[in-house]
Amino acid sequence: MDTSDVASDLSCVLFTKEQIAARLAEIAAEIDVDYADKNPLLVGVLNGAVMVVADLSRAMKIHCEMDWMAVSSYGSGTQTSGVVRILKDLNTDLHGRHVIIVEDIIDTGLTLSYLMQNLATRDPASLKIMTMLRKPAAVQVELDIAYVGFDIPNQFVVGYGLDYAGHYRNLHDIGVLAPSVYA
Ligand code: 5GP
């Protein structure tokens, strides 16, 4: 899906597919160096991180493996509570593995903070975070984020895996959802 297909639903485009691909190529090159001979395990957080894992992993030149987790956050409406339920756990034993959690977006950071604590108990050799997008509130949480695609303003964005009511995940670009869509 292109921005032109849903143009009236977006206030603006923040990042085009070309900008996303260029930034992912830079991060992939960093990971290639940082994880040479380490066979990192990319842990994608479903559903939003599907596109990021798919494109980041293919931009990498070193071997890696992939696994997936699905979590649901208990909370009221759009507020994240930080209490997380694991809906789908990993198939991979993390003992001795170099793990990179891959996220679409970090807002409050509460979900990721829980995931980090949970995965840290599984004895990985190392545990780092890569996120495509980061919102300002994320800096309030004690999270060391190794790789950030883009910092964005505190607005609700869709596209490139990010949804509103299940839609827009298949949009190439990342844009701000127009208030008229959810008003
Ligand atoms: P956190 O625990 O960091 O507050 O929650 C992060 C999750 O909230 C993301 O994985 C995503 O599902 C959702 N989220 C936060 N901000 C946005 C946004 O701007 N757009 C969309 N589509 N989801 C968001």
Burial classification of residue 158, based on how many CB atoms lie within 10 Å of its CB (0-12 exposed, 13-18 middle, 19 or more buried) = buried
The pTM assigned to this predicted structure is 0.94
Is ligand 1 within 6 A of the CB of residue 104?
Answer: yes
d(CA 134, CA 106): 5
pLDDT at site 81: 61
- Reported as type and span, the H/E element at residue 157 is strand 157-158
pLDDT at site 73: 72
d(CA 113, CA 141): 8
Task: Measure 63 CA to ligand 1 centroid, in angstroms.
Answer: 29
Catalytic residues: 107
pLDDT at site 164: 95
What are the residues facing 58 on neighbouring strands?
Answer: none
Mutation choice for ligand 1 from 11, 52, 107, 163, CB with most ligand atoms inside 8 A: 107
Task: Measure 106 CA to ligand 1 centroid, in angstroms.
Answer: 6
pLDDT at site 84: 84
pLDDT at site 134: 95
Beta carbons of 69 and 88 less than 8 angstroms apart: yes
Beta carbons of 45 and 69 less than 8 angstroms apart: yes
d(CA 6, CA 2): 7
pLDDT at site 80: 59
- What tens-digit pLDDT sequence spans the chain (183 residues)? 999 999 999 999 999 999 999 999 999 999 999 999 999 999 999 999 999 999 999 999 999 999 999 998 765 545 556 678 899 999 999 999 999 999 999 998 988 999 999 999 999 999 999 999 999 877 778 888 999 999 999 999 999 999 999 999 999 999 999 999 988
